[in-house]
Amino acid sequence: MSALEKQLHLGRLPPRPPLPGGGGQSGSKMRMGPGRKRDFSPVLWSQYFESMEDVVVENETGKDTFRIYKSGLEGPVLLLLHGGGHSALSWAVFTSAIINRIQCRIVALDLRGHGETKVRNPEDLSAETMSKDVGNVVEALYGDLPPPIMLIGHSMGGAIAVHTAVANLVPSLLGLCMIDVVEGTAMDALNSMQNFLRSRPKTFKSLENAIEWSVKSGQIRNLESARVSMVGQVKQCEGAASPECPKAIVEGIIEEEEEEEEDEEGGGSVNKRKKEDDTETKKEHLYTWRIELSKTEKYWDGWFRGLSNLFLSCPTPKLLLLAGVDRLDKDLTIGQMQGKFQMQVLPQCGHAVHEDAPDKVAEAVATFLIRHRFTEPIGGFQCVFPAC
């Protein structure tokens, strides 16, 4: 539920850090200074991961294919589970950061209904089904002798990681990490999620447009991550005139910038520019969301209800990373005071903590693994948090 929870709790988040050069944020516009234009072009997964693989899971009713992205050759496996609506590509920048700090292997998974994973029933996003998927992928990859594995999940993926651990679907589990998912906060937000989903653009005129929207709307605050991550969130419409893809909705912040730039340049009329854009949009293949999250509502409660106690019941070492300490509910507050898990608060982040601050998340995870002697540092990395 990555983008969902982040938007729903926007009022609780710390203010955004100032832009480079000390420039503040004015209204809906984010400027980089005179003559400087930010690059919103998409970036390939291969800039961050070493390989990509489609894992086939067979059972009595047929085959499912799960897309994974991998890096690293030795050390424990960090199995990364993304939030709702996102994909394995949301872990791209984090992967580059962690792989240069400790000996580890990365496996980032597109969960069912997301990214490039193809399953027979993509609408079934129940916690039970998705946690079984994780176990099946581990078995398909490693057989009966899997290496030590740490489950790391963001938002919905964090909930699925806990359900997977509790069901003992990863027998070689050595650690568990949830990123910005807390039962109390998530349950309180359920009633507002549909309103948030309705407020998002339904389509984009290009990948660049989608990336620009994600950054300027605050869904992803790190442009580098947005350029690779948004490719996994949207897909090209089959036809620009199809019922599912009406005329592209171009976020107002983008249109406003185009108009202002035109006025500043003293160019042709704004109306003429809009007509040209409309004509160009009709020629292009539009982009829309890969998954309609609004249709998954019946599963939301099952992801999060009872999550705190499930997390606390897991016998493996546990790490909780949050964007704000106010997200802690009663059960986790008591558990944290009793030392049942390690917690790290990373301020100046939105809900997509691992995308907004990939280096800080990598440092926290690396420190956790080294502290428990699950791996060794490389490249001169030193633990930076007091817990080490």
Q: Among residues 196, 157, 165, 161, which one has the least CA distance to residue 293?
A: 196
Q: Of these residues, 2, 90, 155, 225, which one is catalytic?
A: 155
Give me the sheet containing 234-236, strands edge to edge. 203-204, 287-289, 234-236
**Angle 24-29-33 from CA coordinates, rounded to 5°:** 60
With residues binned 3-state (H G I as helix, E B as strand, rest as coil), the percentages for the chain, rounded to 5, are: 45, 15, 40
Encoding tokens for residue 273? Answer: 């520019």
Is 2 part of the annotated catalytic residue set? Answer: no
Q: Of these residues, 9, 82, 154, 351, which one is catalytic?
A: 351
Q: Of these residues, 180, 214, 308, 356, which one is catalytic?
A: 180
Is 133 part of the annotated catalytic residue set? Answer: no
Residue where the block lists tokens 């990395």: 381
Tally helices (H) and strands (E) across the chain: 15, 11
What is the rounded CA–CA span in Å between residue 22 and residue 15?
14
Is 86 part of the annotated catalytic residue set? Answer: no
Q: DSSP for 219-263?
A: S---HHHHHHHGGGTEEE-S-TTSTTS-S----HHHHHHHHHHHH
Catalytic residues: 155, 180, 351
